[in-house]
Structure 1
């Protein structure tokens, strides 16, 4: 199972006033008494310096690093400078694709299975259906390996061969017992086992790059990512909401924008592979958002939002295929946030 992004921010209702933003940034970066938090200093730039791409990209890395170091209780405050930096990059004409997808037609509508195929989803019927590939491969490997070992152990002389065969054969029964009594523990083992598949690394990269790219195109401040095995995620800031998701309800426009970011990994995998392995956590994030909807949604409406979001996300990924490919390669080599943004902006030039 691929771990999904940490979805903590989205399109909001408007920016803070200039005065409020300045006070917000000053409060976030000001030293606190007895603070143990070590932050990188972000110098206040002059009006002329703020148009320098190199300085702006350096600022982006700095504020993202500060947010990463901030304690969880202060993450909302530290996300303010991240949003400001993205806005400065866009205003300077450096980040021309930042929020560019907001101008495209992203109105929610009914979407049918055939339309998912039109945007490149190989098997639309498998969307929101958990894959059993890893489970089956894990159980087959356990049964096959223990069977071979039991046969070999049976060749040992005397009672060693007799008891060893039974003990090794009991491993399969133990695995089945764990799966019945503690399925969560078995899921962890299966998740670790899935990393042996040759396509695992590429799946992770394409999955997380899709979250990153669509968040960027929809104007959601991306603050970090990880493609380390077992720690895969993409992080977003809460600055645009100006409030934590759990503290407010979301409008239809906010739900629509953030739903695309939530299912971007599903759309990316669905376009590239026969099965979508990393959709469980993505769908959990989407469900969490739908429960915060200001408009009460029935089960059928929630299913349609899911289908529409996958369709719209796949369409954006198809339109911005060069940007997605460039971002995948940047993340493959462990690029910084600024380098990832530069890869997106330079993709079609």
Structure 2
């Protein structure tokens, strides 16, 4: 199940958006208070301008509306043990981070969370789009609840990214095209250059593991983790300083734990977002669903 998407080519050129006063009459269809204008945010999303999206959300937060946006800015990696995932409610935590498919291009994987780690080197943009097609083709046959799984998985990426202050520009729940688009031009540059620092790596790791964590909290078997793990490995490989295998293992555990904790704390928001995404809501409508959920 494809999940986290950082487009590397074809990114939109940045637009220059002046500072705006957000205390205006809102559109009648909006759930925002009547003195809050969401038009700048809507326009920024339509332009796929991540800087403008962040600026609009920051101003909305200052205006007292986008209270959940970037509400979890201070995260700090720590040593994490497998039993903590079980205590939190993750089912079958020992099997959580085993990619769900085998492909000759990638070889066999061993668990990320326990034992030694055998990792492949992923270059930016090198993931084969056809990698998971065999699994995707039979997905709905083996997992009749696949629509709920996909919505739960992708909504987790969306919500956790929003809470951590990463702007969302789009998403898809279509089989074989599942993704949450987190285009960020600044992050693209540091990923390209292989210069992700520890703080950014931690933040991206938590977002990458959010879908896996959401499935692990609900189901005995997680099936959407493969591309999430490939995505995490890509970020690890583009970070400086290089981290050891033991550190990679701990990063994965910690990221799953923190993502799961955020999802449990924000269960109502996660469920509201799942419903909105399942109904093909716009990104703005999804953000509204997060903000108005109790």
- 1:85 and 2:31 matched: no
Shift of the 48–209 alpha-carbon distance from structure 1 to 2, 3 Å rule, reads: closer
1:123 aligned partner: 92
1:61 aligned partner: 42
- 1:112 and 2:81 matched: yes
TM-score (norm 2): 0.79
Task: Write the distance in 1 (CA, Å) between the matches of 2:131 and 2:227.
Answer: 17
What value does the CA root-mean-square deviation take over the aligned residues? 2.7
The Cα offsets for residues 29-71 of structure 1, whole Å up to 9 and x where unpaired, read as 48xxxxxxxxxxx8x675364695576423323222222xxxx
User: What displacement does 1:190 show?
Assistant: 3.3
- 1:194 and 2:139 matched: yes
Higher alpha-carbon deviation: 297-306 or 185-194: 185-194
Higher alpha-carbon deviation: 187-196 or 208-217: 187-196
The Cα offsets for residues 133-190 of structure 1, whole Å up to 9 and x where unpaired, read as 9xxxxxxxxxxxxxxxxxxxxxxxxxxxxxxxxxxxxxxxxxxxxxxxxxx9795233
DSSP-derived class of the 1:234 partner: strand
User: What displacement does 1:84 show?
Assistant: 1.5
Q: Runs of 4+ in structure 1 displaced over 6 angstroms?
A: none
TM-score (norm 1): 0.67
The Cα offsets for residues 193-251 of structure 1, whole Å up to 9 and x where unpaired, read as 21233111011000000000000000011111111122110011314548352125122
DSSP-derived class of the 2:60 partner: helix
DSSP-derived class of the 1:243 partner: helix
User: What displacement does 1:132 show?
Assistant: 6.3
In 2, are the aligned partners of 1:238 and 1:244 still within 8 Å (CA)? no
The Cα offsets for residues 268-295 of structure 1, whole Å up to 9 and x where unpaired, read as 0010111111111001111111112222
- 1:94 and 2:65 matched: yes
In 2, are the aligned partners of 1:60 and 1:337 still within 8 Å (CA)? no
Query: Highest CA radius of gyration, 1 or 2?
Result: 1
Shift of the 228–207 alpha-carbon distance from structure 1 to 2, 3 Å rule, reads: same
2:125 aligned partner: none
Shift of the 28–185 alpha-carbon distance from structure 1 to 2, 3 Å rule, reads: closer
In 2, are the aligned partners of 1:61 and 1:336 still within 8 Å (CA)? no
Residue ranges of structure 1 left out of the alignment (5+ in a row): 10-24, 31-41, 68-77, 134-183
In 1, are the aligned partners of 2:101 and 2:135 still within 8 Å (CA)? no
Residue ranges of structure 2 left out of the alignment (5+ in a row): 27-31, 103-128
Shift of the 242–263 alpha-carbon distance from structure 1 to 2, 3 Å rule, reads: closer
Task: Write the distance in 1 (CA, Å) between the matches of 2:279 and 2:76.
Answer: 36
In 2, are the aligned partners of 1:8 and 1:244 still within 8 Å (CA)? no
- 1:47 and 2:21 matched: yes
DSSP-derived class of the 1:101 partner: coil
Shift of the 334–300 alpha-carbon distance from structure 1 to 2, 3 Å rule, reads: same
Name the structure where helix makes up a greater proportion of residues: 1
2:167 aligned partner: 221
Shift of the 242–85 alpha-carbon distance from structure 1 to 2, 3 Å rule, reads: farther
